[in-house]
Amino acid sequence: MISRLLEPRRSSLIAIALGAMQLIGSSSVWAQYGAAPSQTGLFFDDLRDRQKAEQAATKSGTRDGDVTYDYESGVYRSNEDSEMGQRSTDYQSAREVARPAVRSGSAAYSARTVGDYTNYAGQYASPTGFFAPTYISDPFLNGRRNVKLGPINVGFGLYQGFEYNDNINRSGTDPISDVISTSLLNIDANYQITQNNRLSISTAVGFDHYFEHPELAPYGSGDFVLNVLPGSTIAFDIKAGPVFITVYNRTSVRPAARNDFALTQNQVFGVMQNDTGVAANWRINSAWSLAMNYMHSFADPLQEADSASTAPVDDSQNFGRTTDSISGSLSFSPNGTWTAGLEGGVTSLLYNGGFNNDASLTNVGSFFVLPIGKTTYIRLAAGYQNFEFDEVRRVAGGGFPVTANLAPKTNEDNSDLGDFYYGVTISNQLNSRISHSLSFGRESSLNVTSNFITSNYINYGLSVIAWKGSRISMSGYFEDAEASGGAYAQDLTQYGMDLHVAHRLSSKVTLGTGYHFGRTDTDAVGRSATRGNFDQHALNLDISYALSPKCNLSLGYRFYMTDVTSGSGNFDNQDFEQNRIIVGLNYNF
């Protein structure tokens, strides 16, 4: 298998040039849908927010036409000089820094999300919702469409970037450089078919091209690597009396990285993820509502492993899988302020290969949401998870099957799960300039080298507007994770911090710089002797210039370093440094 970690979508997100991301009304931690209750809760939060937005758009109509950014007020304004979306003082902008494909280039993955292909497995909450692509051509547009084609409202954003990367294979002994082109088209369109029926599409799709070494692309060996970014969705929204129904298909085609340095240090493979489902939210009366969702999902790796490889964790086909999930959320809000409810779901899990074990996954729990005024949001959730996995195949003599060099063909893990989970999120807007959020909890989710992994985690984010045109974003995380067992299981403890400072010099020029530090300590719990500790450092510098109200030019520099401080097993020559220079042009039609 490939022994490199090409940063996913490495230049794709530079187009979000130093802007604050939109606030998505939930800060739950991402993990696998159907396995981890946090993502199930996040899905229903996104669904409710989506239906509120659809109702508002239906009543008021969707504005279109030219918009310009007003630097003095910090909002977009239409030709009629009305607000087009309020700039958010969002702590999520701090979290972007630690995401694997944004700004700093850090690989601060979260153990509890390593098996999730619906988003990037960062330490912090996703900056976008389930029905929204990760890449946004213009974060200030706030969902407004800028072109009207008959009855269809369409928003287009085009990004073209070129990157010089001096170590695309992330090697400490034989670095290879290349120039990479990235083209992305962002589309956000809707068609109001009737008063109660609405068809919409939201996607960012494009190509990467490696000029010198296309064979080192994350998947495929052709001249162009297709990217369809997570959250790309076609959806049909229906209102039938008190019931809102959303039929959707959500697709992504992208690199999927494994950053577990204790196992396969730099593994990357392409994966196609497709989620098809139908969700409904029934407002039973003024106090009670019931939401349900059925989803059929499959993930298929796009590149075969090297046939000469004998290590099963290097086989990309081990990560292909199919799930069918049914989940529900019953909520009670008697006065429209606090909300209490029950949530749960059941999932059938089937893997394509024989390394990991098929399973039946269930979870059930309760949640409580308490807004305090307009400045504080508290969400509590707790419950029980039960994972039942098929038993590992054994040979006639009673042992596990092995290959010729004694590498196991299965994960050798016969563990099942019966454990509690909980999650607490507290978000607070201290004033117009300062916002912050604290999240902590315990949760189990699917792993890629054992049946599952259980994590205790905490993270904190802070965003401050210290002076006019500025944003200082700080965040930190800690995670203690235990794998269920098997031949390659690793326990780990990791912590880190992120800092980003942006300053808008004028209505046309924005500067920014960021730094990430992360430390990971791993320990073998299976029969593998591999263990080790490593640090990660990342630095970024950015400048963005607005050529016109619709077009901006950006220039960025990235430095990334991994330092293995101690280890045994396959840690030889894993230290490396990487420098990247990126220039990008973003145009909103």
For 165-206, the pLDDT digits (tens) are 998 877 888 899 999 998 888 888 888 888 889 898 888 888
- Whether residue 1 is contained in a domain is answered as no
- The amino acid at residue 360 is S
Q: Residues 519, 532: contact at Cβ < 8 Å?
A: no
Which is nearest to 88 in space by CA: 6, 25, 1, 179? 25
- Whether residue 87 is contained in a domain is answered as yes
Residues of the chain with pLDDT under 70: 1-31, 53-109, 117-122, 124-129, 132-146, 220-222, 256-269, 303-318, 393-408, 526-531, 567-573
- The pLDDT value recorded for residue 318 is 65
- Whether residue 539 is contained in a domain is answered as yes
- The pLDDT value recorded for residue 155 is 80
- Whether residue 315 is contained in a domain is answered as no
Domain containing residue 201: 12-265+276-303+323-588
Measured in whole angstroms, how far is the alpha carbon of residue 109 from the centre of its chain?
10
- DSSP-derived secondary structure letter, 320: -
* Burial class of 480 by CB neighbour count within 10 A (0 to 12, 13 to 18, 19+): middle
Which is nearest to 319 in space by CA: 111, 115, 112? 115
Please give the C-alpha separations between residue 160 and each of 203, 328, 512, in angstroms, as whole numbers: 16, 41, 20
Provide the whole-model pTM: 0.81
- Whether residue 309 is contained in a domain is answered as no
Collapsed DSSP state (helix, strand, coil) of residue 96? helix
- The pLDDT value recorded for residue 293 is 95
* Burial class of 103 by CB neighbour count within 10 A (0 to 12, 13 to 18, 19+): buried
CA-only gyration radius of the chain, Å: 23
Q: Where are the beta strands (DSSP E) in 447-508?
A: 452-464, 470-483, 490-504
Cα 524 to Cα 35: distance, rounded to the nearest angstrom: 24
Cα 492 to Cα 263: distance, rounded to the nearest angstrom: 12
- Whether residue 314 is contained in a domain is answered as no
Take residue 130 and report the two structure tokens written for it.
């389930």
Cα 236 to Cα 274: distance, rounded to the nearest angstrom: 17
- The pLDDT value recorded for residue 70 is 47
- The pLDDT value recorded for residue 26 is 30
Question: Going by C-beta distance under 8 Å and a sequence separation of 6 or more, which residues neighbour residue 580?
Answer: 10, 105, 163, 164, 165, 166, 556, 557, 558, 559, 560
- Whether residue 386 is contained in a domain is answered as yes
- Whether residue 5 is contained in a domain is answered as no
Q: How many domains does the chain have?
A: 1
Cα dihedral: 69, 72, 73, 74 (round 10): 50
